[in-house]
Amino acid sequence: SEFNLMELVTECVEQCRLADGKHSIGIRGDESLLLFADHDRIEQVLSNFLTNAFKYSPEGSAVEVHIERLDDSRVSLSVTDEGIGIPEANIGHVFDRFFRVEKTSQNYSGMGLGLYISSQIIQGHHGEIGVRNNPLKGVTFWFAI
């Protein structure tokens, strides 16, 4: 169905704030973006991105959600953190089922499924999903549909 993306982001961030409370979360972008997609699945992807951003970055650091229109038919959402980043040798595998960065996984618990599920959801919408290391620190996860 069709929904306002900023409303979804605001709700999801509000819930994540209650669960985490240790990061400063910023939201920016177009407040009028409408998306025709599965609302609850898209919320699940954002929630997975945010959960990772909180888990793999220090308390008190900033997390930013950004939404924008790319062209007539596509919108994008990204989550940027200031965390530990991902080694370039591993970054191509983070959407694989059960994949976890070996060094990271010694200090944080998880199944290696959140990003795999997220990529399945975005593929189900015929969209694109990706990640890049930021110039200074941390990573940016994004999808476009």
CB 111 within 8 A of CB 98: yes
Q: Does residue 129 touch ligand ATP according to CB under 6 A? A: no
How far, CA to CA in Å, does 44 sit from each of 56, 72, 93, 104, 117? 18, 25, 20, 23, 9
Residues 23-62 that bind ligand ATP (CB under 6 A): 48, 52-53, 56
DSSP state of 126: T
Other CB atoms within 10 Å distance of the CB of residue 145: 21
Q: Which of 6, 86, 122, 129 binds ligand ATP (CB under 6 A)?
A: 86
Give the count of residues interacting with ligand ATP (CB under 6 A): 23
**Bridge partners (DSSP) listed for residue 134:** none
DSSP state of 12: H
Q: How far is the CB of 145 from ligand ATP (least distance, A)?
A: 19
Which C-beta is closer to ligand ATP: that of 13 or that of 33? 13
Which chain residues interact with ligand ATP by CB under 6 A? 48, 52-53, 56, 81, 83-86, 94, 99-101, 104-105, 110-116, 139
Which chain residues interact with Mg ion by CB under 5 A? 52, 114
